[in-house]
Amino acid sequence: MAAAFPKIAKIQFEGPRSRNPFAFKHYTPDELVEGKAMKDHLRFSVTYWHTMRGMGADMFGVGTMRRPWEDGTNSLKMALKRVAVMFEFCEKLGAPFYAFHDRDVAPEGATLRESNKNLDAVVKELKKFQKNTDVKLLWGTACLFVNPRFMHGAATSCNADVFAYAAAQVKKALEATHELGGEGYVFWGGREGYTTLLNTDLKREMDHLGAFLHMAVAHKKSIGFKGPFYIEPKPKEPTKHQYDSDAAACLNFLREYKLLDHFKLNLETNHATLAGHTMQHELEVAAAANALGSIDANTGDILLGWDTDQFPTDLYLTSQIMLSILNHGGFTTGGTNFDAKVRRESFEPEDLFHAHIAGMDTFARGLKIAAAIRKDGRLAEFVRQRYSSWDSGIGEQVEKGKAGFKELEAYALKMGEVTTNISGRQEFLENLINEFI
């Protein structure tokens, strides 16, 4: 097949002074940061659904994207052809990973059996391309939200037949992910929620979701898939309320249904925003429960209340994200997955490169900034000092479980008024961070 991007060569690092738009200014895959190559810190991943399948449609208009390789069909033939385009893109970009939904890579057939056959054919092609390149699968997932059968949800549908169909689909998507050596598998509860409580038995739906995920864990064991499962929180859109609404809600759900040992979280910036949190909040909540798994790297628009899935180009954002990630030991099986799409006005194929280069350079800078903040040490030292009252005396006794209300009352009576509070120095710290940006 002729190249899909004939005018674009492999993207190289040319440094911050370069004026070449098809070059990295900051991302040097092999440069060591804190003793580890940047590419191993960041583990960039390209999404099949946006980069290959996103055509720029919105609720007011049809797609705008110009994609010379597309023949306008959602056929198996086109799906097979598209694999070469995806791998050419990832290779030219130097992205080591990709991620997909079953229905992004292969078309849904007239029956489940036919859909499975389509998926098998494309998986074979993906496997061939993976073997001939250095591009690997970060994670796979099942699309349980596009087809009308999922109108009431998938695992949380009021219709048991839909639950069964969804289970069959996840079973197959999990097997495809395993076949392709995927590093993990994601559950995003696209329509697992409700639009009105008038028609909803919330407890029963949550119980069904818990049962569904236990079945997935059992199947994972039976096929020998070793990668982690991730849940991806999102509070709303398409439903009014999604059960996996934010990191804390997911963790509570997993704990309640005794699934915490089998899942980590895949956190997405725009979803955090929709939940009324910062991405760093979500990362810290996940890390506190030892469940920080992977990230969907994008950003929203502060003036819009939906999932705009824009490419991340904000250095404050990526520095904060990378600071949390480095502080918690970095990715293992997870990565930086660009769950992001070019604007519908950015309709040319080269925009796909501009967008990913921007995201990768912004994350590369975020990583370097975070490493510099850590090396400097003042921020961490400030936080350590701030809690120093817990390192000895009464604080240490509380942390060690050696003091109760009786001991604390005796201590407080003897102490008199608290006179030792020190400033939180927020403005000082915000300015400190700016020294590195």
> CB atoms < 10 A from the CB of 400, how many?
8
Does the footprint of Ni ion cover residue 246 (CB under 5 A)? no
Contact 4, 68 (CB under 8 A): yes
- Counting every residue written for the chain, the total comes to 437
User: Can you read off the two tokens belonging to residue 164?
Assistant: 């069964």
Does the footprint of Ni ion cover residue 244 (CB under 5 A)? no
Does the footprint of ligand XLS cover residue 282 (CB under 6 A)? no
For 40, the enclosing helix (H) or strand (E) is helix 38-42
Give the active site residue among 41, 50, 102, 104. Answer: 104
In single-letter form, the type of residue at position 421 comes to N
Q: Looking at 7-15, 112-120, 302-310, 325-333, which segment touches Ni ion (CB under 5 A)?
A: 302-310
Does the footprint of Ni ion cover residue 296 (CB under 5 A)? yes
Does the footprint of ligand XLS cover residue 244 (CB under 6 A)? no
Identify which of residues 81 and 344 has a Cβ nearer to ligand XLS in the complex: 344
> Which one of 88, 102, 246, 307 is in contact with ligand XLS (CB under 6 A)?
307
Q: Which does 43 bind (CB under 5 to 8 A by kind): Ni ion, ligand XLS, none?
A: none
Apex CA 96: angle with CA 346 and CA 25, to 5°?
60
Output DSSP code: residue 289. T
Does the footprint of Ni ion cover residue 307 (CB under 5 A)? yes
Q: How many Cα atoms within 13 Å fall on the side-chain side of residue 271? A: 29
Does the footprint of ligand XLS cover residue 296 (CB under 6 A)? yes
Q: For residue 224, is it left (φ>0), alpha (ψ between -120 and 50) or beta?
A: left
> Which one of 141, 156, 169, 310 is in contact with ligand XLS (CB under 6 A)?
141
Q: Which of residues 95-124 bind ligand XLS (CB under 6 A)?
A: 101
> Which one of 4, 162, 186, 364 is in contact with ligand XLS (CB under 6 A)?
186
Does the footprint of ligand XLS cover residue 234 (CB under 6 A)? yes
> Which one of 225, 339, 368, 436 is in contact with ligand XLS (CB under 6 A)?
339
- The three-state (H, E, C) secondary structure of 333-382, written as one string: CCCEEECCCCCCCCCCHHHHHHHHHHHHHHHHHHHHHHHHHHHHCHHHHH
For 21, the enclosing helix (H) or strand (E) is none
Does the footprint of Ni ion cover residue 268 (CB under 5 A)? yes
Alpha carbon distance, N-terminus to C-terminus of the chain: 44
Identify which of residues 179 and 339 has a Cβ nearer to Ni ion in the complex: 339
Q: Which residue has the tokens 């992001």?
A: 340
- Tell me the closest approach of the beta carbon of residue 357 to ligand XLS, in angstroms: 21
- Tell me the closest approach of the beta carbon of residue 225 to ligand XLS, in angstroms: 18
- Tell me the closest approach of the beta carbon of residue 267 to ligand XLS, in angstroms: 10
Q: Which does 311 bind (CB under 5 to 8 A by kind): ligand XLS, Ni ion, none?
A: none
Q: Which does 220 bind (CB under 5 to 8 A by kind): ligand XLS, Ni ion, none?
A: none
Asked if omega into 148 is within 30° of 0 (cis), the reply is no
Does the footprint of ligand XLS cover residue 183 (CB under 6 A)? no
Contact 359, 312 (CB under 8 A): yes
- Tell me the closest approach of the beta carbon of residue 273 to ligand XLS, in angstroms: 12
Active site residue 101: yes
- Tell me the closest approach of the beta carbon of residue 421 to ligand XLS, in angstroms: 42
d(CA 291, CA 383) in angstroms, rounded, equals: 23
List Cα–Cα distances, 209 to 62, 267, 277, 371, 380, in angstroms: 34, 19, 25, 40, 40
Does the footprint of Ni ion cover residue 104 (CB under 5 A)? no
Q: Which of residues 12-31 bind Ni ion (CB under 5 A)?
A: none
d(CA 186, CA 333) in angstroms, rounded, equals: 12
Active site residue 376: no
Give the active site residue among 41, 50, 101, 178. Answer: 101
Nearest alpha-carbon partner for 176 in 232, 134, 216, 137 = 137
User: Can you read off the two tokens belonging to residue 7?
Assistant: 């005018």
Q: Which residue has the tokens 């990295």?
A: 24
Q: Which does 186 bind (CB under 5 to 8 A by kind): ligand XLS, Ni ion, none?
A: ligand XLS
Can you tell me whether residue 69 is helix, strand or coil? coil
Residues that bind ligand XLS (CB under 6 A): 101, 141, 186, 188, 232, 234, 268, 296, 307, 339
Residues that bind Ni ion (CB under 5 A): 268, 296, 307, 339
- List, by residue number, the catalytic residues: 101, 104
